[in-house]
Amino acid sequence: MAGVGRPSVYTPELADEICTRLANGESLRAICNSERDDFMPSIGTILRWVGENDEFQQQYARAREIQAETHADDIVTIADGAAGDDSVKTARDRLRVDARKWVASKLLPKKYGDKQTTVLEDANGNNPFMALMEAVSNNGRPRPSS
């Protein structure tokens, strides 16, 4: 049966549509499962395109970065609109904020993640701690040449 199922042919226009919707904060699942979008491929097809098409991979990665920024903006909007005594609305808004914080931390962990990393290096980019450890492990003697 020809023509049955979702499309699996990559086009730049379809890639633009997918990435624009991602950047605007829509999830990949929502994009692929929307009743109004019979023309959208499956999640598996899109992820296959990411793995096979370097140009789409870069476009997709950039859309995900922008999506994290969109979620961060949404957090501020939700938090600013959370005034009032309605505890149900407040709990829902807290959940919405927490969900967006979690997604942003996964999409851009260096910017929005909780883990902080400290890198030790001198002006030449060398790690002085490693040099000290090597000196201590050799009792202060230079390592023998191979």
Please, how many CA atoms are within 13 Å of residue 139, restricted to the half-sphere of its CB?
Answer: 1
Cβ contacts of 133 within 8 Å, gap of 6 or more = none
Q: What pLDDT does residue 129 have?
A: 66
Average pLDDT (112-141) is 69
Contacts for 38-43: CB closer than 8 Å, 24+ residues apart: 38/6, 39/7, 39/14, 40/6, 40/7, 40/14, 41/6, 41/7, 41/8, 41/14, 42/6, 42/8
pLDDT band at 1 (very low <50, low <70, confident <90, very high): very low
Q: List, for residues 77-96, the tens digit of each pLDDT value.
A: 888 886 666 878 888 888 88
Given this model, what pLDDT does residue 63 score? 97
Residue 133, pLDDT > 80, answer no
- Residue 70: per-residue pLDDT: 94
Whether residue 134 is predicted with pLDDT greater than 90 in this model: the reply is: no
**Mean pLDDT of the 107-134 span:** 73
Q: What is the pLDDT of residues 14-51, one digit of tens each?
A: 999 999 999 999 999 999 986 777 789 999 999 999 99
- What is residue 145's predicted lDDT score, i.e. its pLDDT? 62
